């Protein structure tokens, strides 16, 4: 069952066992002391005092154990809240403040740490792309890594566009511009530019051959 493998449930179970054990032990001690008081013929008040003292000790032990468990949970939760707030704010420069345990909270804390490191790598890649470094390599973990997959496709598309523009600047107008989608405004702009340059090159060729009847249509 799931609860049997739950670290938090084990904490609670240990707390209950510790509390029950403490109560049983203190009850036995109280019974022994009461018998001793009765055997010595002491007053009932002494016996009541022993019971009260035993109860107070038991309560103190239970409260101490419960407080330790609650403090452990609160510390872990505060660390997790801090990490999630930093990540939600767009800051991947975050590290867990405490060592993660082997329970569910520890697993969640390690997972958030891995997420922060993953987002940090993505940010570094995005910053490199923003600086114009189209030679950056994007490492895609698997088919489910859609974020890095999208970045890899974007880098590859930009790399092809840069290569095409470099060919155009060298005067090679034979390049075929690939349009990734109807929303590919960069690709469409480069394609239109190449087509215009081809028309201009054809007009220049005809003029160079002495054909002055060619019509030049201004673009704007």
Residue 215 lies in a domain: no
In sequence order, the 6+-apart residues with CB closer than 8 A to the CB of 63 are: none
For position 51, what pLDDT does the model report?
61
In sequence order, the 6+-apart residues with CB closer than 8 A to the CB of 49 are: none
Residue 9 lies in a domain: yes
Residue 220 lies in a domain: no
Number of domains forming the structure of the chain:
1
For position 2, what pLDDT does the model report?
37
* Alpha-carbon span 104 to 108, nearest angstrom: 6
For position 1, what pLDDT does the model report?
41
Q: What is the pTM of this model?
A: 0.56
For the segment 160-185, the average pLDDT, to the nearest whole number, is: 84
* Alpha-carbon span 129 to 154, nearest angstrom: 9
123 near 92, Cβ under 8 Å?
Answer: yes
pLDDT in tens, 40-80: 555 555 555 666 666 677 677 777 777 776 777 777 777 77
pLDDT in tens, 99-128: 556 667 777 778 888 888 888 888 888 888
**Nearest to residue 61, comparing CAs of 26, 93, 35?**
26
Residue 131 lies in a domain: no
Helix ranges restricted to H, the chain: 7-40, 44-88, 104-130, 146-169, 185-208
For position 39, what pLDDT does the model report?
59
For the segment 83-106, the average pLDDT, to the nearest whole number, is: 72
For position 18, what pLDDT does the model report?
66
* Alpha-carbon span 55 to 27, nearest angstrom: 9
* Alpha-carbon span 178 to 184, nearest angstrom: 9
Residue 179 lies in a domain: no
Residue 189 lies in a domain: no
Residue 93 lies in a domain: yes
Residue 188 lies in a domain: no
Sign, CA dihedral 201-205-210-214, equals negative
For the segment 154-165, the average pLDDT, to the nearest whole number, is: 86
What percent of the chain is predicted at pLDDT more than 70?
Answer: 68
The DSSP result for 45-70, as a single string, is HHHHHHHHHHHHHHHHHHHHHHHHHH
Structure-token pair, residue 35: 């018998």
* Alpha-carbon span 40 to 31, nearest angstrom: 14
**Containing structural domain, residue 75:** 1-120
């Amino acid at each position: 069952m799931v609860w049997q493998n739950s670290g938090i449930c084990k904490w609670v179970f240990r707390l209950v066992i510790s509390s029950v054990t403490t109560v049983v032990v203190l009850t036995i001690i109280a019974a022994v002391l009461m018998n001793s008081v009765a055997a010595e013929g002491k007053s009932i008040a002494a016996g009541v005092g022993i019971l009260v003292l035993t109860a107070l000790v038991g309560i103190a032990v239970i409260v101490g154990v419960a407080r330790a468990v609650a403090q452990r949970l609160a510390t872990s939760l505060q660390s997790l809240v801090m990490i999630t707030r930093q990540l939600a704010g767009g800051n991947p420069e975050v590290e867990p403040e405490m060592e993660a345990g082997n329970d569910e909270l520890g697993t969640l804390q390690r997972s958030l740490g891995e997420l922060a490191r993953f987002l940090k790598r993505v940010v570094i890649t995005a910053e490199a792309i923003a600086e114009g470094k189209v030679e950056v390599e994007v490492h895609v973990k698997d088919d489910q890594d859609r974020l890095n997959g999208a970045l890899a496709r974007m880098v590859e598309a930009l790399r092809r566009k840069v290569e095409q523009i470099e060919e155009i600047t060298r005067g090679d107008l034979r390049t075929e511009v690939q349009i990734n989608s109807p929303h590919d405004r960069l690709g469409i702009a480069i394609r239109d530019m190449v087509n215009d340059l081809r028309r201009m090159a054809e007009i220049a060729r005809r003029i160079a051959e002495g054909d002055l009847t060619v019509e030049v249509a201004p673009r704007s």
